Amino acid sequence: AGSAARPSGHSCGSPEISWTLPDTSHVSQEDLTSQVGDVLLFYCYCEVRDPEKLCAWQKALCQHLHLTGKVRVASEGINGTVGGSKVATSLYIKVMLSQPLFKNILCQEDFKSSAGGAHCFPDLRVGVFKEIVPMGIDPKIVSYKETGIHLSPQEFHREVEQYLSQATQGQSDTILLDCRNFYESKIGHFQGCLAPDIRKFSYFPSYVDENLELFKDKRVLMYCTGGIRCERGSAYLRSKAVCREVYQLKGGIHKYLEEFPDGFYRGKLFVFDDRYAICSNEDIISACRYCGVLWDQYKLCSSQHCRQLVLTCPSCCNKGLTACCPVCQEKVLKVTSRASGQILKEECECTRRRPRVPIEHVSPRMLDTGK
């Protein structure tokens, strides 16, 4: 951890946005639109004077390269996950790195890649938002410039190894904190982590506020999928001035698994596209909600009004058990309600029973290597 540094942010003024689109005349249409490709995950915090212009360029660039996915643009930077052919994603990275706005900030290593393609997303969505990751706190109040200390995957691995060794003896002064949502950590997480039972990242600030005593005088090791939630999450935790120090995994689980596929992260990595998860090891740490057999492949709840994800194995699916809870299993959506244009609120046993912000009662024994 001694070699890690806290970035000072990029506040030297925003360069003009280049409207460059790559030359694809030398590329065949087949290569450009091939179903065999990659999904890229990336973000870049920087000052953007004209988010609307950056948004328009991003949309044109993705359409030009036949990419699908989601891109969020804000005055604080850009955050995206896009899928396309290997040729298209390679060209996308090249153009992004040549964009003056991102020069000397974004680098090749900032793009996390996994097998996939344009088919992993239903469409392309590019928009301007207040935050590039929705934490619900004004970026001017809690800035990415006040982030925690970044640890490389190797440094993080050593820290987790030491933490697990101390935790088994009940001597740890460290919390290994998962910044993701409950359905993400449910199918994969670091051994010995504290995984909040929250449904949205926008609940994370309230979770910290309600559990400040838990973090008092602790060293906190934070991680998330690609690193972006830790940027603002660590800044928020640091703003409370209760922790001894806050560290975060640079590049997130994605980069860690590239170097340590059989390391301390077990199970699958949840991703926000039609794949739902990618794997690096054979461990299955979750179970079918109906029969309890080991299972970690999500499906959407079969109740049309519900957006919950459900773990239901093929055997239970064949029995018609395809909803997230008994309420949804029995509920029938009325055609008249949909026709009337009403927005139906999600109501199910899952959301009703889960506290929006859980209060932790954690003892050293609960944070051992088996939990």
153 shares a domain with 244? yes
What pLDDT is attached to residue 363?
57
pLDDT digits (tens, 9 = 90+) for 294-353: 999 999 998 877 888 999 999 999 999 999 988 888 874 443 345 445 555 666 888 777
Query: Secondary structure of the chain: what % helix, strand, coil (to 5)?
Result: 30, 20, 50
Percent of the chain with pLDDT over 90: 77
CB burial string 116-136: b at 16+ within 10 A, e below: bbbbbbeebebebeebbbebe
Domain count, the chain: 3
270 shares a domain with 161? yes
323 shares a domain with 232? no
Residue 62 counted as domain residue = yes
What pLDDT is attached to residue 365?
46
What pLDDT is attached to residue 1?
40
What pLDDT is attached to residue 172?
84
224 given a catalytic annotation: yes
Residue 355 counted as domain residue = no
Q: Which residues contact 296 (CB under 8 A, 6 or more apart)?
A: 187, 188, 267, 268, 277, 284, 285, 286, 311
163 shares a domain with 105? no
Residue 78 sits in a domain whose CATH number is: 3.30.70.100
345 DSSP assignment: P
268 shares a domain with 188? yes
What pLDDT is attached to residue 345?
61
Side chain identity at residue 176, one-letter code? L
Contact between 249 and 230 under an 8 Å Cβ cutoff? The reply is yes
Out of 55, 62, 224, 325, pick the active-site residue: 224
